[in-house]
Structure 1
Amino acid sequence: MTVIAQSLRNGTTFPRRRRDIRGVTARMSAGIALLASVLASGTALAAAPHFESAAKQAILLDDTTGAVLYAKNADERMAPSSMSKLMTAYILFERIKEGRVSMDDAFPVSERAWRMGGSKMFVEVNTRVKVQDLIQGIIVQSGNDACVVVAEGLAGSEEAFARLMNEKARELGMTGSHFMNASGWPDPEHYMTARDLSTLARRIIDDFPEFYKFYSETEYTYNGIKQGNRNPLLYKDIGVDGMKTGHTEAGGYGLTASMKQGDRRLIMVVNGLGNVNERSNEGERLLSWGMREFENRKLFSAGEVVESAEVWLGDQGTVPLVPARDLVVTLPVADRDNLAAKVVYEGPIQAPIAQGQEIAKLVVDVPGVEPLSVPLVAGQNVAEAGPVGRILAAISHFVSGAAGNAESQTQQ
């Protein structure tokens, strides 16, 4: 294994080609950086600034990198209440994007939907409601009745729709969730985790930007009844532009919210709070802390050469190592000038090598958490050497090997 130790200080790029074939490890001396392509695993920051939340369950993450800035009981099962409606909306958005449903389609209102209790859109039995109205009824008015109309319209029954919700949860990697209904109506077998909710919120924002705008609407009128959005942070000038509140006796008061300031977007979930004021204050406090205490830094652009790897029996001796996408890290502001990393690959790498082929990793080794790594790919094609080149390479390998053995014997 070849290890190329590197460091980042004061915003400079990696110095070149400091090799240590014995495997020298470059460590961060303070703080932590999280790499974009591996942060979906949700590893929490080991050296994060201290924060205490009154929520029973909470998580805060960066949308660009997936870095988890704060987590408290994030994998604990909880009653998600109306925050479950994020999954109902996700499935509906997906059907629209696939062309299977249009915004002008209208779904029938059954007696079951009409009789739903709790927060309501106030649909009328034996009428039909357009999909766009139902979207706003679910998102802005938090209508349990609207959720049932959508569930029955897409799957025939709410029970069948709940099965679709569970299938989609597995597909999205939401391993701590199980749905029994479309609205979050209390049921002991209906649960989610804060981490799963943050995953779902992130996917809505990233997968359906054309529909995310509905989450920022502060009011909507249907059937002559105007209702305000229950998300308290929409009414504060702090950059919050969605997503969904929830409340049941079992779950307490909860909020999934997203804040955007400049190029950064944070996603937050809190649950188990005691009242609406605590939900509002705690949500604002956690989001503002995340924006203030952390920042994103781009280390490399997609295709930018990070290092070069040695090639065996190729028509050239090295191949450039590049990230397939922009490499962005989230780190505490206090540690912005103190980063270190290493490039690791099994080498020399035998030709032929295809451009885009994953052949190395950029690794950040952080005390207290598992090492974090991002793939590096070949920046260009490398063909096999011709007969003469292969012979010369074999001779060079034999000579260098013999010299190494002689040096070893002399040292003994």
Structure 2
Amino acid sequence: MRQILARIAHRAVSSAKSTLAVAIAATALIVAPAHANPKYAAIVVDANTGKTLFSSSADEARFPASLTKMMTLYLTFEALESGRIKKSSKVLFSKNAANEPPTKLGVKAGGSVTVETAIYSLVTKSANDASTALAEMLGGSEAEFARMMTTKARQLGMTGTIFRNANGLPNPAQHSTARDMATLGIALREHFPQYYDYFSTRSFQYGKQRLANHNRLLGRIKGVDGIKTGYTRASGFNLVSSVSDGNRRIVAVVMGGKSGKSRDDHMAELIRTYLPKASTRRGGNDLVASAAGETRKSPIKALAALLPTKNAPKPKAAPRVEDEEVAFATADNVPAANVQEEEGSAEPEVPFAYAEPIPARMADIDPIKTAAVPKSGWAIQVASSPSEVEARAFLTRTNRQAGDLLASASPFTETFEKGGVTYYRARFGGFDSKNAAWNTCNALKRKKIDCYAVQQ
């Protein structure tokens, strides 16, 4: 009898050890990417309660890549809901929009598509030109629209996000977090249920082309109804997924995947593991406070009234000597050659070795030779930024756009202090007279490059 009981006990212990080993292995499978990949971040949020079911580096700064277009679409849906635009409204493509690198629709400057076509192109093909065209339509310029995007992010409770363009093309100052992207994903469904079905579009017809959605989990994983993929070399492979199963609903984010397949496989594992753990009961209020600024209680703490107002960008005119403002690195200000992102195209040759949060080496980032700060004469300022990397990016972009006008000028950066923060001026020096500097600046403005002349 004792021998029988001993055998039973031994089997029970062995079974418990086996179960524990399986559990540990499953957990290791989920969290392993955090140790192997410094770009990795992930989160799973219960979209009924706001509870975080899984988190790894969820509040660390990451490059959003084309996840940025989620906010572009949020503002587009907001404009549709308010009646400012219609689905049939024409979206005009400027030269700036038409010149965006692929992936894109390929609309020529002066051409147009409807708002609805632009929406479809963003959710499927992740078209950069359509993103910029929408930004210019809604904000007047992409730089202004980027300010609107960041302000909206603050209203939604996305405190770790700064936008600098509408499409997610590489920019060292544009960053977000996995948690913020989950918040935005939840907000899109809660605030615009009438437009949310766009995200589940598998493909759509544009002219003679049928454009397929880059989100390969649509149709592969039961319950997945969106939302967005993204890729740049700096960001790695990103994905935000919304999933529902009966009354359960989650939003999951994976950022920094080493490949599209590994990212998709990891997302699938997160969904299989955590969707069954989500609540079947939904609270009475939205999880994310509406962008209009209501202060309803939220498990994600999306209370616009409690956010520090100094972090909310205030749109201003071009930089002036008397009131120097930090310039935004938009698609107009960052080198556009060979920077495209999005899986389905060849891996881009990004001209800057961006790193977040540790700055990359200047030798990797600054392909333009900068000079010593001139002690006299006149200079033209094209930007200022709290990031030296960003200031040098402005110099590089300006030189590429207008090298003929600046052939005799010397690019340089210099620092100044404001509000206890060190900023970097991006300037071209070597002008021997006020008229020479002013005339060159006016020529730059005709190329749509903001600038002003200043005496050293």
Corresponding position of 1:84: 68
After TM superposition, give the deviation of residue 100 of structure 1 in Å. 1.0
Corresponding position of 2:209: 225
Question: Alpha-carbon deviations, 1:73-124, whole Å to 9, x = none?
Answer: 0011111100010000000000111111111111211111111113112223
After TM superposition, give the deviation of residue 326 of structure 1 in Å. 8.5
Corresponding position of 1:241: 225
Larger fraction in strand: 1
Task: Establish whether residue 93 from structure 1 lines up as the match of residue 72 from structure 2.
Answer: no
Find the aligned partners of 2:153 and 2:207 in 1 and give their Cα distance.
Answer: 33
After TM superposition, give the deviation of residue 152 of structure 1 in Å. 0.6
Conserved? CA contact 1:122–1:222, under 8 Å: no
Selected match of 2:103 from 85, 107, 119? 119
Find the aligned partners of 1:209 and 1:326 in 2 and give their Cα distance.
Answer: 15
Corresponding position of 1:54: 33
Find the aligned partners of 1:121 and 1:192 in 2 and give their Cα distance.
Answer: 26
After TM superposition, give the deviation of residue 262 of structure 1 in Å. 0.5
Q: Return the index of the structure with the highest Cα Rg.
A: 1
Selected match of 2:260 from 268, 276, 282? 276
Selected match of 1:75 from 59, 76, 80? 59
Find the aligned partners of 1:167 and 1:197 in 2 and give their Cα distance.
Answer: 15
**One-letter code of the match for 2:114?**
K
Find the aligned partners of 2:31 and 2:239 in 1 and give their Cα distance.
Answer: 17
Conserved? CA contact 2:53–2:274, under 8 Å: yes
Give the gaps of 5 or more residues in structure 2.
Answer: 1-25, 35-39, 288-456
Change (3 A) 1:271 1:117: same
Question: Alpha-carbon deviations, 1:357-398, whole Å to 9, x = none?
Answer: xxxxxxxxxxxxxxxxxxxxxxxxxxxxxxxxxxxxxxxxxx
Partner secondary structure for residue 234 of structure 1: coil
Conserved? CA contact 1:79–1:190, under 8 Å: yes
Partner secondary structure for residue 255 of structure 1: strand
After TM superposition, give the deviation of residue 220 of structure 1 in Å. 1.6
Task: Establish whether residue 175 from structure 1 lines up as the match of residue 140 from structure 2.
Answer: no
Within a 5 Å distance, the mapping from 1:373-384 to structure 2 comes to: none
Task: Establish whether residue 138 from structure 1 lines up as the match of residue 138 from structure 2.
Answer: no
Find the aligned partners of 2:154 and 2:269 in 1 and give their Cα distance.
Answer: 32
Corresponding position of 2:94: 110
Find the aligned partners of 1:246 and 1:223 in 2 and give their Cα distance.
Answer: 25
Selected match of 2:279 from 296, 316, 323? 296
**One-letter code of the match for 2:279?**
N
Find the aligned partners of 1:326 and 1:218 in 2 and give their Cα distance.
Answer: 31
Find the aligned partners of 1:184 and 1:169 in 2 and give their Cα distance.
Answer: 15
Partner secondary structure for residue 104 of structure 2: coil
After TM superposition, give the deviation of residue 212 of structure 1 in Å. 0.7
Task: Count the aligned residue pairs.
Answer: 257
Give the gaps of 5 or more residues in structure 1.
Answer: 1-48, 303-324, 329-412
Conserved? CA contact 1:53–1:282, under 8 Å: no
Selected match of 2:198 from 210, 214, 229? 214
Change (3 A) 1:124 1:223: farther
Conserved? CA contact 2:221–2:268, under 8 Å: no
Larger fraction in helix: 2
Partner secondary structure for residue 52 of structure 1: helix
Partner secondary structure for residue 54 of structure 1: helix
Selected match of 1:184 from 124, 143, 168? 168
After TM superposition, give the deviation of residue 295 of structure 1 in Å. 3.8
Aligned structure 1 segments of 4 or more residues deviating by more than 3 angstroms: 325-328
Partner secondary structure for residue 233 of structure 1: coil
TM-score for both structures, normalised by structure 1:
0.60
After TM superposition, give the deviation of residue 155 of structure 1 in Å. 1.0
**One-letter code of the match for 1:52?**
V
After TM superposition, give the deviation of residue 285 of structure 1 in Å. 0.6
Corresponding position of 2:391: none
Find the aligned partners of 2:92 and 2:63 in 1 and give their Cα distance.
Answer: 29
Corresponding position of 2:250: 266
After TM superposition, give the deviation of residue 265 of structure 1 in Å. 1.0
Conserved? CA contact 2:48–2:280, under 8 Å: no
Kindly, what percent of the aligned residue pairs are identical? 35
Find the aligned partners of 2:200 and 2:125 in 1 and give their Cα distance.
Answer: 12
Question: Alpha-carbon deviations, 1:30-79, whole Å to 9, x = none?
Answer: xxxxxxxxxxxxxxxxxxx9442525100000111011000110011111
Partner secondary structure for residue 210 of structure 2: strand
Find the aligned partners of 2:243 and 2:280 in 1 and give their Cα distance.
Answer: 18
Change (3 A) 1:209 1:175: same
Partner secondary structure for residue 83 of structure 1: helix
**One-letter code of the match for 1:287?**
I
Q: CA RMSD for the aligned pairs? A: 2.3
